[in-house]
Amino acid sequence: MSSEHVVTPDEAGARADVLVARLSGAARSLVTDAVKRGAVRVNGHAVKASHPLDAGDRLAYEITPRKPLEALPEAIDVPILYEDDDLLVVDKPAGMVTHPAHGATSGTLVNALLAHIGTLPGDPLRPGLVHRLDRDTSGLMVVAKTPVALSALGIAMKARRIKREYLGLIHGVPDHLRGTIDGPIGRDPHNRLKYAIVAGGKPAITHYEVLEIFPNAAELLFALETGRTHQIRVHMAAMGHAIVNDPLYGREDPRSGLPGQALHAWRLSFAHPRTEREMIFEVDPPPGYLHAKRLLAGLD
Residues marked active site are found at 134
DSSP letters for 179-207? EEEE--EEEETTEEEEEEE-TT-B--EEE
Alpha helices in the chain (DSSP H): 16-24, 28-36, 109-117, 147-158, 231-239, 287-297
What are the C-alpha distances in Å from 132 to residues 44, 95, 110, 218, 254? 45, 13, 11, 25, 26
Of 159, 161, 206, nearest in space to 184 by CA: 206
- From the CB of residue 194, how many other CB atoms can be counted at a distance below 10 Å? 16
Query: Which residue type, as a one-letter code, is found at position 121?
Result: P
Of 242, 264, 266, 265, nearest in space to 253 by CA: 242
